[in-house]
Structure 1
Amino acid sequence: MVDRERKLIRDLKQWKFRYPPNYAELPISDEPKYNVPVAVKNSVFSKVPTEPLIGKLHLVCTSEDAMTDILDLHPEVAETEEFIDFVAGKYLPNGGLTVCHRYGGYQFGYWADQLGDGRAHILGEYINSKGESWQPQLKGSGETPYSRFGDGRAVLRSSIREMIASEACHYLGIPTTRAAALVVSDDHKVWRDRAYCGTMREERAAVVMRLAPAWYRLGSFEILLKRNEPHTMKQLADFVIKHHFPDVAIDDPDKYVKLYLEVAYRNLDMVATWQGLGFTHGVLNTDNISVLGLTIDYGPFGFVQHYYEHYVPNTSDDAGRYAFNKQPGIILWNLEKFAEALAPILTDDQKKKINDIRAPLEAYVREKITQTYLNKLGLEQCRDGDAALVKELLQLMQQTMADFTSTFRQLAEVEVSQLLDATTLESKWSLAKVSKASQWGQWVQKYRDRLEQEKVSDENRRTRMLKVNPLYVPSNWILQEAIADAEKNDFGKVRHLLKIFKNPYEVNEEAEKLGYSSQPPNWSFGLKLSCSS
């Protein structure tokens, strides 16, 4: 039953959760009317069974690496009906404890009260062969006490986006939750207003299996503040420290200050990777910010194409609150709300300590982002004037509508001595655009001078840059093509994208034929997504 060489389980019946899961240490509500919206109190979770997909089911795709490296499952398992039932919410392996997480959140700057897992179920805790703890979660698996006015379901298009983005971001180097598998039903239908224009459309329901060490959010603490539940908050904070922040001693008098710092630095490191790769989350509400510093909840996200610092992929964000260039500031704002949430379990002195580190955190993320961009330019040492060098390049890219991803990649593909050679740049479509800016020559000279200061050879520069500047990112237009095929039950392109994005820094001949590193099609410009999923 077990592949001894790779320790991969070939029979799902031999695979089991750890029981009890670690989260059973926290208060769990056992409200009998589990699928009726209710104001849950004094609990971190609600015990809720899944509502399985019905009808004819299809396995859209799996992430082989997530299956094997995280869940210890042999790829053959995915071919079984039992596995499809597992992902669809029909089959729960031994040791499972199905719960939904309670949390609140600030949405677009305003308190939205109780939110919670309105269509997601944590199935249990799995300890893999590496000793790692993971929590598989189904998204789109039915109503819960937190569904509000939703139906507890997810549709195929949004589930494909979440599946591919989770895995692609992992291989791009972005801290993220993972995705193991996706199933869709031919017969289970739901209604959605996908463009928020008043026109409802019937779509097929789907379920994606997501993976994370834990699913706690900033809003997990905020709801406890708003509902005046300091005892539960202390339980949650101690639990998170014990299980997820081992460097913080549980008997340290300042443990909650250190918890705050851990959460802050992880999230600031995360947003720095976003900025360096052009990733724009789209909905940075506090309920979408992981305590563990993981990118979570892939909704109306997007990767910047032609560079525009105010890029907004979400049709609902008319004011541009969550625009690309505002993401670091929003993370800092969210962290302020997290500090407010922790207030009931902090002393006055500890509150002051957290308040005093606000300015250092702002400086930290600025420096982290500058360093990220320097690495993209093949530089390692941060010096005076570097922030200006980066800013000037981005301004030139914006003036010429050059592509964010391709410009940096093509800078790595051309010798620095050829950056002013029009003939050389003809084959580099995005770099050629930037080179038409009137200030391009001046910027290239500054770049050369900076490389000379650090004594970086051109070979080393290009080697460094190729490691951090991808060829391929899951742009919305690429995903949209795969979704169009999948809606006809042709899942080939979805599966192919998972393979391509597994190695986003390496040339893939098939991806090149499909134009994934070429200039995007005209119809893709201005493509936005809604939260209707």
Structure 2
Amino acid sequence: MSATLPTIDQAEFQNSFVTELRGEISADNRPRQVPGYHYSRVVPTPVADPHLLAWADELAAFLGLARPAERGPAVDALAGNLVTGSMKPFAARYGGHQFGSWAGQLGDGRAISLGEVTAADGTPWEIQLKGAGPTPYSRRADGRAVLRSSVREFLCSEAMHYLGVPTTRALSLVRTGDEVVRDMFYNGNPQAEPGAIVARVAPTFVRFGNFQMMAAAGELDNLRALANYVIRRYYPELGEPTGPEVYVRWFEEICRRTAVMLAHWMSVGFVHGVMNTDNMSILGLTIDYGPYGWLEPYDPDWTPNTTDFGSRRYAYGQQPNVGLWNLWQLARALAHLVENPELLRPGLDLYSATFEAKRHEMLLRKLGLTSQTAEEDKALLATLHEALAGSEVDMTLFFRHLSHAAPVVLMNPESAEAAWTELLVAASYSTAPEEEAQLRQWLGHYLARLQQETAAPEAIRELMLGANPKYVLRNYLAQQAIEAAEAGDLSVLNRLMEVLKTPFAEQPEHEELAAKRPEWAREKPGCATLSCSS
């Protein structure tokens, strides 16, 4: 008989970040500059009535943690009301470029890490409470988070994992019983909203900005100590960091992982919305789910972030370039660790090459193409982006319906016209025939290319269905879950989470969750437009 799993208040925590790096130990949580340290020891601020709203069972099993009751000591720990003897909570110090401009010291302004638990595979995973109260890095903020943004972070962290996208995870969602005042669109209309805390999980939450902060402050000993810590714990295959060549290889691996992550984003139509350097994981994981969204009408210039409407710096089509720019900023910080900064340039080249290769590979899978016709495929994929951008089609629905239509047309080319018409009706937000002309022309080229495949139509169908999700976390679905949760109804959130665990399965009983964005959601706040407010 297997041993009973502990709840989080009974778990034994390790504290490598605190014990191996330089930290400030102070009872002063006032916002301030904290020179000379990697982190500050802090204590979460208790909340009025913490109770559990959502729990990630599969993640908890991996972490070796039992599901807690709705209220009790375990939920107190998940809300920051209880700090056990093995926890050493801290807030990390980092800086970053925000919308392209250096912002100086930022840091964990409302995220407090409790420490690490050992997962089933023997690896340590850090548990961090987002919304647990002020820290020295809170600037003018209160250190809290609202239910609205917390539901979105909980759902999206787990949804991205089940899509196969490299990501941080979310263990729990706790409602605090307190209200938090937020001006959602920064337009002078603050409102009290229910507060919440997400326990998010990752091997580490170290960001590009941690290294940028050390370099900008001239703290080269701290910079080297942080780099050595990350290499030893999370890149052990590189060996002991004894010389510049290890830092060079490490940077190349960061570039490779970041490129793979970006290719996954582009493949599923995910838009992060706020790709500041302090929101870039040193492990190549998606981190900080704020004003994100999925492409519905395929528009490379679309961003869900109202703060970015002026420049569209973080729009869908800009994400690969921003990833490269952010890596360049990281390289500037890490240049202090190598003899010649030019040694880091191949890492940036590796990012570009890896991204292009991975994105190409993933797009071929989405189209059911396995044989190699390199130049022809490059042209086909390039014109696909143009055709999609010229048509108001839903990206997710287009590829999912294509997964069913392509094998049928391959077996019976005479059915192509009817099949393509059915596809466009299902996926398009527009009824204007002129908007479909370029895409119909592309579908003709695609069929000709598909006919060169040697795989059986059924094998092509399975390949495409495994690469093209039916269900993604559309913003209007998240908003429906938020509104229901605010009213005390968790059924919408729970159903949505269960469906998103198998996004590639048909799940016909949940068909309405795979529908096009409804017209009412086109302009509704939280559905079409979001901000960094949370």
TM-score by length of 1: 0.93
1:57 aligns with 2:57: no
Residue 460 of structure 2: aligned partner: 461
Which amino acid is 2:449 matched to? R
Q: Deviations over 1:113-135 (max 9, x none)?
A: 00000001000111123212101
Per the TM alignment, residue 454 of structure 1 is displaced from its structure 2 partner at its CA by 4.0
Is the alpha carbon distance of 1:433 and 1:282 closer, same or farther for their aligned partners in structure 2, counting shifts above 3 Å? closer
Residue 517 of structure 2: aligned partner: 520
Q: Deviations over 1:367-417 (max 9, x none)?
A: 221221111111235511323212322322232211100100111112233
Residue 306 of structure 1: aligned partner: 297
Residue 420 of structure 1: aligned partner: 416
1:15 aligns with 2:6: no
Residue 150 of structure 2: aligned partner: 159
Structure 1 residues 433-472: aligned runs within 5 Å: 437-472=436-471
Q: Tell me if the contact between 2:255 and 2:348 (Cα under 8 Å) persists in the aligned partners.
A: no
1:486 aligns with 2:485: yes
Give 2:355's match in structure 1, choosing from 365, 374, 385: 365
Per the TM alignment, residue 8 of structure 1 is displaced from its structure 2 partner at its CA by 4.8
Which amino acid is 2:459 matched to? N
Is the alpha carbon distance of 1:22 and 1:224 closer, same or farther for their aligned partners in structure 2, counting shifts above 3 Å? closer
Residue 124 of structure 1: aligned partner: 115
- Rounded Cα–Cα distance in structure 1 between residues aligned with 2:18 and 2:282: 15
Indicate the RMSD between aligned Cα atoms, in angstroms.
2.0
Q: Deviations over 1:224-258 (max 9, x none)?
A: 11100000100001110000001111155301111
Residue 311 of structure 2: aligned partner: 319
- Rounded Cα–Cα distance in structure 2 between residues aligned with 1:321 and 1:210: 27
Q: Tell me if the contact between 1:411 and 1:431 (Cα under 8 Å) persists in the aligned partners.
A: no
Which amino acid is 1:486 matched to? A
Q: Tell me if the contact between 1:8 and 1:68 (Cα under 8 Å) persists in the aligned partners.
A: no
Q: Tell me if the contact between 2:393 and 2:427 (Cα under 8 Å) persists in the aligned partners.
A: yes
**SS of 2:237 mapped into structure 1:** coil
- Of residues 191-200 and 88-97 in structure 1, the stretch that sits farther from structure 2 once superposed is 88-97
Residue 239 of structure 2: aligned partner: 249
Residue 213 of structure 2: aligned partner: 223
1:202 aligns with 2:192: yes
Residue 19 of structure 2: aligned partner: 24
- Rounded Cα–Cα distance in structure 1 between residues aligned with 2:56 and 2:378: 38
Per the TM alignment, residue 423 of structure 1 is displaced from its structure 2 partner at its CA by 6.1
1:384 aligns with 2:375: yes
Q: Tell me if the contact between 1:8 and 1:73 (Cα under 8 Å) persists in the aligned partners.
A: no
Give 2:338's match in structure 1, choosing from 322, 343, 346: 346
Which amino acid is 2:218 matched to? N
1:67 aligns with 2:64: no
- Of residues 259-268 and 271-280 in structure 1, the stretch that sits farther from structure 2 once superposed is 259-268
Structure 1 residues 178-197: aligned runs within 5 Å: 178-186=169-177, 188-197=178-187
**SS of 1:426 mapped into structure 2:** helix
**SS of 1:343 mapped into structure 2:** helix
Q: Deviations over 1:79-118 (max 9, x none)?
A: 4512221111112234111000110000000000000000
Q: Deviations over 1:117-165 (max 9, x none)?
A: 0001000111123212101100000000000000000000000000000
Q: Tell me if the contact between 2:52 and 2:71 (Cα under 8 Å) persists in the aligned partners.
A: no
- Rounded Cα–Cα distance in structure 2 between residues aligned with 1:237 and 1:248: 12
**SS of 2:437 mapped into structure 1:** coil
Q: Tell me if the contact between 2:388 and 2:439 (Cα under 8 Å) persists in the aligned partners.
A: no
**SS of 2:54 mapped into structure 1:** strand
Is the alpha carbon distance of 1:434 and 1:531 closer, same or farther for their aligned partners in structure 2, counting shifts above 3 Å? closer
Is the alpha carbon distance of 1:465 and 1:8 closer, same or farther for their aligned partners in structure 2, counting shifts above 3 Å? farther
Give 2:226's match in structure 1, choosing from 232, 236, 240: 236
1:500 aligns with 2:514: no
**SS of 1:137 mapped into structure 2:** strand
- Rounded Cα–Cα distance in structure 1 between residues aligned with 2:441 and 2:197: 52
Structure 1 residues 393-432: aligned runs within 5 Å: 393-414=384-405, 415-417=408-410, 420-422=416-418, 425-426=421-422, 429-431=425-427
**SS of 2:328 mapped into structure 1:** helix
**SS of 1:366 mapped into structure 2:** helix
TM-score by length of 2: 0.93
Residue 329 of structure 1: aligned partner: 321
Q: Tell me if the contact between 1:267 and 1:293 (Cα under 8 Å) persists in the aligned partners.
A: yes
**SS of 1:29 mapped into structure 2:** strand
Q: Tell me if the contact between 1:434 and 1:440 (Cα under 8 Å) persists in the aligned partners.
A: no
Q: Tell me if the contact between 2:77 and 2:83 (Cα under 8 Å) persists in the aligned partners.
A: yes
- Rounded Cα–Cα distance in structure 1 between residues aligned with 2:419 and 2:221: 68
**SS of 2:96 mapped into structure 1:** strand
**SS of 2:53 mapped into structure 1:** strand
- Of residues 22-31 and 211-220 in structure 1, the stretch that sits farther from structure 2 once superposed is 22-31
- Rounded Cα–Cα distance in structure 1 between residues aligned with 2:159 and 2:111: 22
Q: Deviations over 1:415-473 (max 9, x none)?
A: 23366232674377435779952244542332233234442332121110101110000
- Rounded Cα–Cα distance in structure 2 between residues aligned with 1:464 and 1:158: 35
- Rounded Cα–Cα distance in structure 1 between residues aligned with 2:396 and 2:118: 37
Per the TM alignment, residue 12 of structure 1 is displaced from its structure 2 partner at its CA by 4.9
- Rounded Cα–Cα distance in structure 1 between residues aligned with 2:220 and 2:452: 54
Q: Deviations over 1:25-73 (max 9, x none)?
A: 011111331x11121122111100111222x333211111111122x12
Q: Tell me if the contact between 1:422 and 1:432 (Cα under 8 Å) persists in the aligned partners.
A: no
Which amino acid is 1:342 matched to? L
Per the TM alignment, residue 337 of structure 1 is displaced from its structure 2 partner at its CA by 0.3
**SS of 1:247 mapped into structure 2:** helix
Is the alpha carbon distance of 1:358 and 1:445 closer, same or farther for their aligned partners in structure 2, counting shifts above 3 Å? same
Structure 1 residues 25-174: aligned runs within 5 Å: 25-33=20-28, 35-54=29-48, 56-70=49-63, 72-75=64-67, 77-174=68-165
Q: Tell me if the contact between 1:378 and 1:464 (Cα under 8 Å) persists in the aligned partners.
A: yes
Structure 1 regions of 5+ residues with no counterpart? none
Is the alpha carbon distance of 1:128 and 1:368 closer, same or farther for their aligned partners in structure 2, counting shifts above 3 Å? closer
Per the TM alignment, residue 274 of structure 1 is displaced from its structure 2 partner at its CA by 0.1
Q: Tell me if the contact between 2:231 and 2:250 (Cα under 8 Å) persists in the aligned partners.
A: yes
Which amino acid is 1:333 matched to? W
Q: Tell me if the contact between 2:392 and 2:428 (Cα under 8 Å) persists in the aligned partners.
A: no
Q: Deviations over 1:280-317 (max 9, x none)?
A: 00000000000000000000000001111111100000
**SS of 2:52 mapped into structure 1:** strand
- Rounded Cα–Cα distance in structure 1 between residues aligned with 2:190 and 2:262: 35
Structure 2 regions of 5+ residues with no counterpart? none
**SS of 1:183 mapped into structure 2:** strand
**SS of 2:307 mapped into structure 1:** coil
- Of residues 381-390 and 482-491 in structure 1, the stretch that sits farther from structure 2 once superposed is 381-390
- Rounded Cα–Cα distance in structure 2 between residues aligned with 1:423 and 1:357: 45
